[in-house]
Structure 1
């Protein structure tokens, strides 16, 4: 590796760390910040390429933002830089959510809910702003407008985790029929390297068998989160109900109030929304003491992030060949349109319970003004909301 390239990789990892400390609000919000720092500021990748990668990651299960930024690292420096990118991106949010879990018994659930009272309306504002920012880039045809509206209506009416992958695939299929408008490119036979796919499947089967044989709680936690990470299409908004059903309703490892506190706190934590798994994993092993909570956080974090990374490493190796097919390139319009509609539906669903709350409405409006004018950095907006909640609490 040349010295120039090594320096570029170090600068890239520094940018990833800055994003890991300042990105809040989920994949669509993260994408706007990726575009600012990784495209416009340092030109690691083109805007078209990052939108392609985001669309590809939305089709796969797992954490969309994590897969996107890891894929960028893979493009720049191969697997080594990609794994370093993953570590730098995931670590800050995971550490904060682990500390939050350790502090639940110290602070108390009621105080946690009061401290984070402004964070949820701020999170809604972030999602609304992301819908507008990304939609203005990808919604350019009548077809994409229709697909966006249908996806938003379907997701708002039918609260099912299956809506996200169904509408993303339907959107992609609808616009793939417009392949005749795409430029013809010279195609070659697709060479698929199956290694990462078999690693993903092998780890899943091994964890299931080992958990059954040993009945070890840490191993079973890893398997639980690995399975959920393999099923969560559409990012953190889909993961939350999956974790709630398994760890609150079924296994009773957490109380509903504890889980809701974690949901609010993950809006405060920078980085991927999937870091809520560290919070859930830690509290699932609280009976083992502080060491057990840290172990539970580590097993949950590994379990939730690994499947999505194995799958993006599997697909990214033949993506350049695959996208030479006009139908694949045409499908990206529909995937992006459906994703924008799903994000809008998430914003509306989250806003509805607070629609009659004057303070929440003012918080949303004020946050949108700050985001649009860019007068205040994102992390200061979140910290300001947290500080106000603490003063009231």
Structure 2
């Protein structure tokens, strides 16, 4: 718990940075696992839907201390961010200051951060002409089919194409993992995941409860969003009943705090239904990650050895880049940049992130201060 809390308080910079923090703490300092096994875990979590960095932490916790270890690892890494966002939502809701200068600055920072994430993800997930082309097609389809179901269909189609196109590439032998969780537990996790996915929407019309509705929405989003926190943006924007201004304010603050971006669920849950709504939203958002990791780890070596799976993963990752590109324009850019001055701040913050390698925390702070200055002027 101590190590996880330390990571939860200091892990700024998004999923890629989190994975670097985890490697330094768990592999280099504590030597709980080696680089090869760590790379396998990272690969698995990038393949699964949900927040990759949180799933890496959960996986390492499972390897180290079983189910309890996974829970403790998640709590330590996630709760600091949840608490900060919860307090922020309470403050903004009570003051009604969604149109203040610093809120606009936070929203503008979100544009730069998403653009920066897009550049980094393109380099790692779509580095060649074929995968860039897949990404562009997926971005176009995202605009043409702007629904949650459409996004799922795009991801599936990209995975099928990747399975076919990359099927002949060489696959290396996977490594074994010292798990205390067996295949039986894994199967139970998969059954529970699909049971909840199917039954929650079925019973929703008969249960008149905002908390049930929240659990259904966030569980579904946490189950099917590939690519981590940035890609959850377009689906949450469509699924959650809050204004773009409120949504992007929370998103901007989520960039400034350590921990996983999926903790924006705490902010949105608080705005929607108070502290209990925040609790329900966070649990529902991350529960699929637990079920997916527990369900997949016992079978990972067998799955990883399949050429088709690795090919599908390349297609899915390319689709993630395309979906993020679409999200950069709508809702991030269209809901935030209203005049040339706003775009000037976008250029400044993007340059600080991409060229000068400033941390998101510093960039978000600068953007908020610029927003305040312009609001006063």
Pick the TM interval, shorter chain: 0.7 to 0.9
Q: Does 1:158 align with 2:151?
A: no
8 Å contact kept, 1:20–1:270: yes
1:113–1:33 Cα change, 3 Å: same
Q: Does 1:109 align with 2:98?
A: yes
Q: Does 1:100 align with 2:91?
A: no
Q: Aligned partners of 1:326 and 1:267: how far apart in 2?
A: 36
Q: Aligned partners of 1:183 and 1:197: how far apart in 2?
A: 25
Q: Aligned partners of 1:40 and 1:122: how far apart in 2?
A: 32
8 Å contact kept, 1:59–1:165: no
**Root-mean-square deviation (Å):** 3.6
1:164–1:72 Cα change, 3 Å: farther
Superposed, which structure 2 residues align to 1:221-240 within 5 Å?
Answer: 221-240=214-233
TM-score normalized with structure 1 length:
0.74
The 3-state SS of whatever aligns with 2:240 is helix
Superposed, which structure 2 residues align to 1:175-324 within 5 Å?
Answer: 175-179=166-170, 182=172, 193-204=186-197, 207=200, 211-248=204-241, 254-285=242-273, 293-323=274-304
Q: Does 1:145 align with 2:125?
A: no
Q: Aligned partners of 1:128 and 1:244: how far apart in 2?
A: 18
Q: Which runs of 5+ in 1 are unaligned?
A: 1-9, 249-253, 286-292
Deviates more, 1:97-106 or 1:200-209: 200-209
Q: Aligned partners of 1:40 and 1:75: how far apart in 2?
A: 16
Aligned to 1:364: 350
Q: Aligned partners of 1:119 and 1:184: how far apart in 2?
A: 40
Deviates more, 1:110-119 or 1:336-345: 336-345
The 3-state SS of whatever aligns with 1:277 is helix
CA-to-partner distance for each residue in 1:163-183, whole Å, 9 max, x for gaps?
Answer: 34543554355334224x646
Q: Aligned partners of 1:91 and 1:223: how far apart in 2?
A: 21
Q: Does 1:127 align with 2:117?
A: yes
Deviates more, 1:307-316 or 1:231-240: 231-240
The 3-state SS of whatever aligns with 1:21 is helix
8 Å contact kept, 1:221–1:296: yes
Q: Which runs of 5+ in 2 are unaligned?
A: 143-149, 177-181
Q: Does 1:335 align with 2:313?
A: yes
1:22–1:308 Cα change, 3 Å: same
Q: 1:350 offset after TM fit, Å?
A: 2.5
Q: Aligned partners of 1:185 and 1:116: how far apart in 2?
A: 43
Q: 1:316 offset after TM fit, Å?
A: 0.7
1:227–1:362 Cα change, 3 Å: closer
1:175–1:73 Cα change, 3 Å: farther
Q: 1:33 offset after TM fit, Å?
A: 4.0
Deviates more, 1:169-178 or 1:73-82: 169-178
Deviates more, 1:104-113 or 1:32-41: 32-41
What is the aligned residue count?
351
Q: Aligned partners of 1:381 and 1:169: how far apart in 2?
A: 39
1:217–1:147 Cα change, 3 Å: same
